[in-house]
Each structure stands twice: as structure tokens, then as C-alpha cells.
Amino acid sequence: MGMNLNNMAKMLKCAGNDDIITIKADDGSDTVTFMFESPTQDKISNFEMKLMDIDSEHLGIPEAEYHAIVSMPSAEFSRICKDLSSIGDTVVILMTKEGVKFSTRGDIGSANIPEEATVIEMNEPVSLTFALRYLNSFTKASPLSNTVTISLSSELPVVVESKIAEMGYIRFYLAPKIEEDEETKPLV
């Protein structure tokens, strides 16, 4: 079921602060109904919203063994991503038994930030490149948890996970950037 979140927010703004909200969708229907029941008045308001037609390919989450897993303070991960994005567009994350190193290279220079991670589980060293703009988006979840867990493995998306108290967790997946070989780069 696909809902436009801006339209959903408009619908929910029609509810009173004390209203009981029921969201109802029938199988095969192209609409969803929002029912707002006022506890102080004997009134039920119905709002119907069209659903989005989503015919996109379902992206599954791969079940995989990750070769390197690091846990570190989420505030530190946020700071590293923010600092590196002022220099370059991508980050190389290198995990070895000695620790984890974040590095970037841009027009104005380069940066390397070694991190004394609190916990590292590793079967083999891993070095992968990721787009910093997406990692910076992931760091917006940092206030939810004191620590962030980063799981890396060659040829798999990185998993950036924050545990949320007793409620569960939030996981972000990002595919690594594939570096073009010198032979396949287009000549300009």
C-alpha cells in the first residue's frame, strides 16, 4: 500500500487533538479511509485519500554474514560523516583488526580519520566506498541511540543500525560505490 506522506499529513491535520483515529483500507481498493472520532462530541468524520500506484520492483533485504562489524558512539559517527563531507563526496571505510579508518579525497584535499572503535568483530579486513550524502542522512537517527553498529562485507550493502531502547532498531542499507576501472572510464 503506497501513501503520499504529504497528503497523509494533510489528512491527519484535520483531526482534533483528542480524536481517536482509525485508518482503514480494504483489499483491492485504491483508497484509504481516515476516521476521526471525537470523544467530547458524538461525531465521526471520514476522510478518504487516494493511494499511490506503486509498480516498482520489491527490494529485498539480503540475509548475509558480514565479514566486519564495528560498534561506535553514534555522535562520533555523525561527526566523522559531517567532517568528511566538507572535503569529499565519498568515504572509504577500512576495517582491520587494528580498528576502523574513514577517509575521503576531494578537490580541496584529503582526510583520514582513524577511530578507536569500542567493539570490532571481524573475519576478514574490508574496504568499501560509500556516498557521504546518504550516510549523512542515516546519521539523523543518531539521537535515538548512543551507539551505532556498522556491518561491512565485500559486494554487500553496508548496514548502519541503531538500537532504539526496548522498541527495536532502525537499519539503513546502502550499496557500495563501484569504482570504474581505468579501461572502462569514458575519455573526455
Q: What is the pLDDT of residues 114-143, one digit of tens each?
A: 887 667 888 899 999 999 999 999 999 888
The predicted pLDDT at position 120 comes to 82
The predicted pLDDT at position 43 comes to 87
Domain boundaries 5-50, corresponding CATH code: 3.10.150.10
> Residue 148 in contact with residue 159, Cβ under 8 Å?
no
The predicted pLDDT at position 186 comes to 45
The Cα 165–Cα 44 span in angstroms is: 36
Give the type of residue at 64: A
Domain with CATH 3.10.150.10 in the chain: 5-50
Give pTM, 2 decimals.
Answer: 0.64
The Cα 101–Cα 103 span in angstroms is: 6
C-alpha cell at 139: 546519521
Domain with CATH 3.70.10.10 in the chain: 68-174
What length does the chain have?
Answer: 188
* Residue 94, SS3 per DSSP: strand
The predicted pLDDT at position 180 comes to 61
Domain boundaries 68-174, corresponding CATH code: 3.70.10.10
The predicted pLDDT at position 160 comes to 95
The predicted pLDDT at position 182 comes to 44
Question: In the 8-state DSSP scheme, what is residue 20?
Answer: E
Sites in the chain below the pLDDT cut of 50: 182-188
The predicted pLDDT at position 62 comes to 65
Q: Rounded to an integer, what is the distance from CA 163 to the centroid of its chain?
A: 13
Phi-psi category of residue 7: left, alpha or beta, with phi > 0 → left and psi -120 to 50 → alpha: alpha
The predicted pLDDT at position 22 comes to 92
Q: Which residues contact 34 (CB under 8 A, 6 or more apart)?
A: 11, 12, 14, 15, 21, 22, 23, 46, 47, 48, 49
